[in-house]
Structure formats: C-alpha cells, structure tokens
Structure 1
C-alpha cells in the first residue's frame, strides 16, 4: 500500500501544494497557476485537487498533511510587535487581526472543512520547511543550510545543519532585523511591489552605481563579523505600519519613494545598485558564518533571498563552500514541499538515500496534456493548427526561431517555482540587438530595463559563459564570454542568468536547442516565462492561447501542435474567457 503525504503552504503569498508518494515527490504546483491570481495567498484548493488527481487518489488516501508553519507562534510575534508599538499602527493592526481571526488561526478547521480530511495534521516551523525543501532534495548527505527571507514565525535568518534525514537549527536572527525586509524596503522605495518586485530591483541595479552604499551602512543596517544583523528601525515602518519605510528614510536619501509607473530616474537606479551590493555582502558574510559554525564543505540555501541570482554569483566567486545547492522554489511555495519532506523524514522517520552524482530533484512537477487533449481544446476554441510528428515540430520551431519569430513553447509538465525552465516558456533568438526591447514592450508588456535569461545546451555552456558545472534552475548569474553574439540575453553588467539543459532534464527543449544551433551556430536561446506582466505563468491550453493572441508572439507550439498568427487572422477573441491582470 502506498503512503501519501500532502504538504501545504498558504495565507501569505504564493500558496502551494506538494504530494509525496512513498517519500518521492510526485506533484507540486502553486495555486496562482490555476486560480490565475498572481501570488495567490488563499487556501490552495485547486493545487491540492491537481496533486490528488495527478495520482488518481482522493483525500482519504492521504495519511498525513503537513502545514508549512506554526500559526500560533506567528500570531504571538504579531501581537507582541503591535503591543510594543501601541498606540501607533492601529490601522495596520485592524487590517491584520481580521485575517487572523477569520482564517489564519483556524488552519485545522479549514483543512478539515474544505478537504473533508479526517487524518493527522502536523505543523513545521517556517524556516524548518524552507531548510527541508533545500537539503532533503540536495545531492549531499550532510550540509550547512542557510535560510534567508522576510520573516517566518520570528526567524528572519536561520543557520542549520542537515545530516542524513535530520535537520537541526543552530542559530537564528529574529524579527524585525531582516535581510529580506531590508531588501523589500528598497524595492518599495524604488516603486515596485513588495513580495513581487524584488527581482525588478535586482534587474535595475546594473544600470546604477553604488554611490549610496556607505549611507546605507551608516544609517540603515549593520552586520558584525559573526553575521548578526541590526537594522535601525527609525527608518523602517514595516513592524506596525502600512508602508515599508519612514519619512526619515526619505530624508537620508534626499528623495521621496518613487511612485509606481513614474519615470525611473538615475537616482533610483543608483539606490538599487547600492542596496544590491549591500545584500550581496551580507549574504557572503552569513555564508562565512554558516561555514564557521557547521564546518561543512556543502551549502544548501532557501528562502526568498536565495532567489537573488546576482548575490548567488558573488557567493560562488568567494568560494566559501566547495558545493552550493539552492532550492528552485525557494519562496513560500517551496514551503509546501519542505513541510511534506519534514513529515516524511522527521515525523515518519523514513531513511534518506543519497546517491552521488544522481539527480535528486526534478522541477517539472505540474500539470501536462496529451496531444489529443490539446487538439480537442484547440478545436473547441476554433483555433487553426497543424499537428506534426515530434521531429518535424522541433525542426519547424527551430526554423521559426532562426527567422526571428517569437515562440510560445508549452511542453510537458509545468515547472514548480517562479522560473520557466523550458516547459512554459517564451523563446526567441538571442542574436538580435533589438530582441530584448521588443520582448519587453510587445510581448511581456513590462519595463524596458528587464533582462532576459539564456537557456543553453549543458555541455556547451562553458563556451559561452564563465561557468563550471551546471546551472539547471536559473539561480546564478554568470559572466558572458561572447556578448556580441548573444546581445539580447546579455545584461548591462555583462552577466546572464543562465539555465543549462541536458537531454535527461528536458529532451524536447534540448533537441530544439540542438536544431537551432545547426541553423544559427548558437546553442543558446532567450528563455522567459510564458505570461505577460501581472499574469501567472500559463497553466492550461486556454491560458496559452489567450496569452498568444493578446501579444505579438508569432507562433504557439503546444505539444506536437503548431499555431501561427498567419493561419488565424480571423480568430474570435470573444471565445476566450475575459481575464484581466493587475500590474505587479
């Protein structure tokens, strides 16, 4: 009889569900992909339904549900914070307490009611779930584990050590002193959304100079040699306010926070660069502390800050650790995975087998469709298409790419985590100088400064980038060796967020890269997520069709079916459901 464990993360941002079968990850998906609400924080009913249906089981087959944090510990921290800030922050408190009393304190009731679940429920700590999501799927038998995010229950930074099937927390930094919230404050100050726009701040940074770095260290933040972080809370308002920063913060920097969608002046570019460099230095110092405490040659990382690929590059360069493994779903969605793994290893006590050089983790854990299902849906939507044999699809798509066409590429199982990894991707040739601006403005409908990532044949990556080994999940940037040949995926600082692809990882995308190289001489393509600004990555055939016809994409390839704009000049958009997305 199979044993199933369901992991759940919910109620803050990026809710998700993950299913283990006999200790193996068989399904994981974010709620936003199915609800079509970016960073959906609601209870992940749709995600849970997918996980169960993917294995043809019901909730009665689940032996254990693991929730990714301890609600009462978090509530205690929130009440304590507001008590210290009384009488300030009443508006914020009123807003927060409503969500707590209506749902966040009643997790068992919600799970039992919404799922009709009668079994056992356990709760992990937030950072424990993050740490588990990284270490338990890593290729290491033992490792230091560094978790850095905004805040969990109380912890904002945790250093732990994993050995076999156990994780032990060694040191913690507590709220309000948080690297993640420090970076989010600058995200807010530069006019981007918190918990959504941090990657924009990272992308903006190369356009500026770090001229405010000394000011940041003088007034806002300090870190000692042991990695202990101190924020001067005079300048930050996130403890009990509705904003991230105070008026005193603005006065130090000499300008007010930028309004969203307003002109991006050089000042904010310089602030972004300064904040980014401070973050990088803090991450390196924390890694050195983790090395000192644990004595390990291996490092696993998780938490939202672990998605800062530029900081990860700088950490690689420092060679603090011999090996680094970062969870691709490092944000809160990955908490569902970590909770399930804690249930499997800590609670159930199951053994963990690590086989050297054997692939442990596969990010392709979401939904997929057969070619017959694709055809049925396209016919129902009255979309004109051609269904071809696989090799013809690969060849034809490569030809389209080589002729400067932009492709919507919808293949196999959807990726788990924030990155598109060649399953729900928009692909284009990187050799054209104007491709970046065209993709940003006409396809993605987003800010023009945003960079695009290259996807490259794994065994040829070191010919194009300063890379040793692999980079399967776009978690590191690397210097570009031939920027003039791939200008539209080379950022201003001559780096690129690289994804390497092997035949074993993703055979169709690998074969497409190989075919494109035969035509163009480049084993590299631009790879960006299949969505427009404010929209979650497409999850269904209708999502893909809607995004395709709402942008200037040229060709849509779903499985073995090819759709072109030329063949669909009379397509009726009214057939599609009316969906709108709030700008992120």
Structure 2
C-alpha cells in the first residue's frame, strides 16, 4: 500500500511516501522550484519521490493532508489574524486533485497530530510520551499526549495566541531578523550574550499550572505581521528594535541569550509535566520549536526522560511524514516500530549526463567510476590541504540540515576557515557557527556526548575547542552530527580517511547552497552553486571537478542558465498559518 503525506499552503511544502508502512521517500518542494520556503502544493517533489521508488501517481492508494483546513480557516477568521491569501478550506483537496492528478481518497489529520506522528512513527519506540511545540496549527500551539499501538492521543493543549513559537519569532523580528528564516540566527547569537533580560522577558510569558502558559497580550500584536510586537516591548526591554541592517550590539546578544534561557526553562517545566502525567520514559518531540538544538540538548540533559527522539524535519515539512504514517496506521491497524537513522529520503541523480556535458565543454575532470576509493582519497587529501569542497552524493537529505549528501566540507582545525566560508561561500553573519560531522565510534574522544545524533539536532561541548576552532562556538559548543559506517559508509569513509591524514575524524559540514537559496538538489544545481560560490573543488558521485579547471566565463553564464530565484510566496503569513 502506498500512502502519500502532503504539507503545503503555509511554508516549506513537502511530501512523504509510506510503502507498506515504511517511510521510503520524502522531499521539500523548494529544492525543485529553487524558491526557498516554497509553499505551493509539492507536485515536483512528489513526482521525483515517486520516480525514486519506481511508482507513479496512479499507484498511490491514499493521500493524507497535514492539517484540518476548515479548522484552520475558522481560526484565521475568528482571531482576525492576517492571511496572504483569502482563507479557502477547499483549496488543499482541490489542488491535490488538480495539480497532483490524484483521484483517490484523501483524508486530513490535525496539524499537531501530524507533528506528533512524524516523531513517533520514526522513533522506533513501541510507545512514548509526545510533545509538540510550534507557532500554531489550527488552534493548538503546544500539545501533550501519548502514542502507542492505538495511535496518537492528545490529552492537553495550549491554544493560540499563546505560543512558544510565536514568542521566539516575535523576538526574532525585534532583533531585526527575518521570521520563519532567522530563528536559528537568534539561537546562534545567544552564546555571545548574558542572560540580563530574563526578568524582562519573563513578563511576556506567564507559567500556569500543568501544561499551560499565557503570553501577555500587552506586548504582542499578531494582527500586524510586519513586526508582531507592540511598543510596550520596547518599554519593558529598555532598548529599541534593531533595524535589519544595523550591527548586532551587546544588548542584542543579551536579549538573544535571555530568550533562549526563557524558552528552555518553559520547555523543561512542560516536559516534566508531560512525564508526570504519562509516566513514560520515552519522549517523541516535534514542531518548529524542536529545531532549536540547544533547547533539545537541555531537555536531554536536565529533563526527566530516559530516551528522546526528534526527527530531522521537525518543522512543517515533516508534517507530511506524520500525516502519511497516521493515515496508514488508521487504514491498516498496524505500524512498524522502526527507528529512522538516515535522512537521505529524497531523489538521487545519475551523473552520466554531467560527465558528458563537461566532456563536450572541454572541461577537465576526473572520473573514478572504476575506483570507488579514489574520490575518498583525493577528497581527503584536498581537505587536509585546506580546500573547501562541495560534496554531492546519492539521495538528497530531507529537512533543513545537510548531512553529508548535499554538503560543503572543510578542515575544522583551520582557525581562518569559518571566516573564509562565511565571506566567500555562505555570505552570512560572522557570529553564526558551523557544525561538525564526526565518525560515530570516535565521538566521545572529541565531544562531551554519548549516544547518536545523526540529524544535527543536538549540541555538545567540544573537549578541545582550541584544536577545532572552525566548529567550536564561542561557548565551546557544537551542533553535532554523528556518522555511522553502517548508515552512510561513503561519508564515514571520508571522515576516516581525513583522520588518517590529520588525526581528527571530523569535518566542518555546512549546507551546499548560497545564502538565500535552497540546498542544491540536482547535479546541475550543484554545478551552478560551485561556480558561483568560490569552492575549491566539487565531488559529485565519483566525479571530481576543480575550480582551477572551470572556464572564467562560466561565472557570468551561470546566472543566465540557472538564476537564483526569489523566495517563494507562502500560502499564509508565517506566524499564523
């Protein structure tokens, strides 16, 4: 049985495919349209994912949509919140029929059910407590429940406008960053500051008994999507909002740090409440707030749960997984308790066409199709010598992190590497850290971390930060990916080869894209980004292309054949969709 889950019409549209109860494919629409956060119905993503498993739309037996459109429209109209498009409860079903060409049965699940299911059905747990925290679903913003053989059961929720996601996004806007894009910048900025605004920010959110909390309406204006806050926020903080292009100063870093502390404290208290009610030692956690890896680490370390699982696309894209999994369980009465350990769920591409194109253009490259170890050895040599390498291998990752399939890699020992990549490649703020990927069996040698972190959703302290300056944040932490040889033997082999040359089975790993564009999808996308962004070499499968061999005129020509597209238009304002 093929069941497809769809998330769309808010931001970051995606699809997921379950085949006989097993997750076999998932991808975000932005990767194919090249419009970041594209919210349109994921027609291209679904076509690619179906092709990957050798199926067509006629083979799909059921489609599940990741929220209740009627309840969502009711909230938008009842609360008077703004919408980029007029609320239309019939639009999801209509576009699933018209744009996907699907004529079979369609069901909807509640938004927080989809989030909770996305974590539980990928956790491998037989049963678990479930926590969901995001901006807002239909009405729920935080929900508490349990999951097991009978499915997902919610026993308590916090409702709009009281929302941890909206709290964090409001302060993101106040600090001059873009909502639904730059919350991770606030998290990255926080370690530079001091928690001097904790008392002030605590005025914004009031802890209530059990799982409840309230935002103080004096400080928020969710009818104004241009800023989301009132002038009273400036009064309580004692500083004006930061203009988007202004420098970040001490007060801004202190607000970021204080916001992170407040978020973590609330999440910890609510996690403890969930544990008291359920008594279950296993936690499944999802929603956009679950992408805050610093808070995740705090819940793991200081929370009451013995085990915790967060799936790689914890935000709305991952709702497609939950919708499909929940629909399959309800249709068949059974589910597979299988742990998701590999986020490479998107399509793969043949590199033959690229090789032919390079040959026709007279561009030198090396092809190691008969020598699988050749690309590993040569890439390790280049990285150890200080090169920055685009690494494109196999199926594309699902979720916001590059995990060794669509990555930019570099030497973490080089103290100048962070600035070099920021200035020449990523063109982003200098305060933002880069993440390390490490061979799983040697993690504890270099990081204060035990267990696995395959999706970069945890932070850990670097044991010798002076040895790894390119990936150690200002507080000595790092957002960690552990790479298991049984899961990704090729990436693990590269880490091992780099260790043979340097003693460190660790590489700086950042997403393969320029600022403002999605992570690359096809070999053509990778070649275009490689030409644009000043990498030293590109490794696509078994092909190696060096920057010195690229014709100079390609730098201007690439803008004609593969222009960077503007950000996708969301189906609704982020804060309220």
TM-score, length of structure 1 as denominator length: 0.94
SS at match of 1:487: coil
CA contact (8 A) 2:115 2:318 kept: yes
CA contact (8 A) 1:7 1:17 kept: yes
SS at match of 2:383: helix
**2:531 and 2:273 mapped to 1: Cα distance?**
51
SS at match of 1:496: strand
- Match runs of 1:510-549 below 5 Å: 510-549=492-531
Structure 1 residue 467 and structure 2 residue 419: aligned?
A: no
SS at match of 1:550: helix
**Closer/same/farther in 2, CA of residues 440 and 120 from structure 1, 3 Å limit:** same
Structure 1 residue 153 and structure 2 residue 138: aligned?
A: yes
Match of residue 253 from structure 2: 269
CA contact (8 A) 1:374 1:558 kept: no
SS at match of 2:78: helix
Structure 1 residue 341 and structure 2 residue 325: aligned?
A: yes
CA contact (8 A) 2:460 2:478 kept: yes
Shift of 1:79: 1.0
- Match runs of 1:69-218 below 5 Å: 69-82=67-80, 93=82, 95-96=83-84, 98-101=85-88, 105-217=90-202
Per-residue deviation, residues 436-476 of structure 1 (Å, max 9, x unmatched)? 11111111111111100010000000010011111111101
Per-residue deviation, residues 256-303 of structure 1 (Å, max 9, x unmatched)? 221212211111111101101101111111110110111100001000
Unaligned 5+ segments in structure 2 are: 569-577
Shift of 1:131: 0.5
Structure 1 residue 372 and structure 2 residue 370: aligned?
A: no
**1:299 and 1:380 mapped to 2: Cα distance?**
54
Structure 1 residue 447 and structure 2 residue 434: aligned?
A: no
Shift of 1:493: 0.9
CA contact (8 A) 1:17 1:47 kept: yes
Match of residue 292 from structure 1: 276
Runs of 4+, deviation exceeding 4 Å:
379-383, 581-584
Shift of 1:494: 0.8
SS at match of 2:266: helix
CA contact (8 A) 1:134 1:327 kept: yes
SS at match of 1:363: coil
CA contact (8 A) 1:225 1:285 kept: no
TM-score, length of structure 2 as denominator length: 0.95
Unaligned 5+ segments in structure 1 are: 83-91
**1:552 and 1:529 mapped to 2: Cα distance?**
14
Shift of 1:247: 1.2
CA contact (8 A) 1:136 1:165 kept: no
SS at match of 2:61: strand
Match of residue 308 from structure 1: 292
Shift of 1:117: 1.7
Q: How many residues align?
A: 564
Per-residue deviation, residues 190-249 of structure 1 (Å, max 9, x unmatched)? 1111111110100000111110001111x2111135231110011111246542111111
**Closer/same/farther in 2, CA of residues 129 and 264 from structure 1, 3 Å limit:** same
Structure 1 residue 505 and structure 2 residue 487: aligned?
A: yes
**1:31 and 1:241 mapped to 2: Cα distance?**
24
- Aligned residues: CA RMSD: 1.7
Match of residue 486 from structure 1: 468
Match of residue 337 from structure 2: 354
Match of residue 575 from structure 2: none
CA contact (8 A) 1:127 1:152 kept: yes
**2:124 and 2:516 mapped to 1: Cα distance?**
35
Per-residue deviation, residues 495-517 of structure 1 (Å, max 9, x unmatched)? 00110001112111100000000
**2:70 and 2:223 mapped to 1: Cα distance?**
18
Match of residue 558 from structure 1: 540
CA contact (8 A) 1:149 1:305 kept: yes
**2:96 and 2:242 mapped to 1: Cα distance?**
41
Match of residue 5 from structure 2: 7
**Closer/same/farther in 2, CA of residues 534 and 235 from structure 1, 3 Å limit:** same
**2:240 and 2:416 mapped to 1: Cα distance?**
33
| Greater RCO, 1 or 2 (C-alpha within 8 Å, sep 6+) | 2
**2:349 and 2:268 mapped to 1: Cα distance?**
43
Match of residue 324 from structure 1: 308
**1:252 and 1:236 mapped to 2: Cα distance?**
12
Structure 1 residue 385 and structure 2 residue 365: aligned?
A: yes
CA contact (8 A) 1:36 1:536 kept: yes
**1:354 and 1:365 mapped to 2: Cα distance?**
18
**1:261 and 1:194 mapped to 2: Cα distance?**
15
**1:496 and 1:583 mapped to 2: Cα distance?**
29
CA contact (8 A) 1:298 1:323 kept: yes
**1:42 and 1:386 mapped to 2: Cα distance?**
39
Match of residue 228 from structure 1: 212
**2:361 and 2:518 mapped to 1: Cα distance?**
21
CA contact (8 A) 1:533 1:583 kept: no
Deviates more, 1:569-578 or 1:302-311: 569-578
Match of residue 252 from structure 1: 236
Shift of 1:65: 0.6
Match of residue 50 from structure 2: 52
SS at match of 2:16: strand
Structure 1 residue 407 and structure 2 residue 405: aligned?
A: no
Deviates more, 1:30-39 or 1:310-319: 310-319
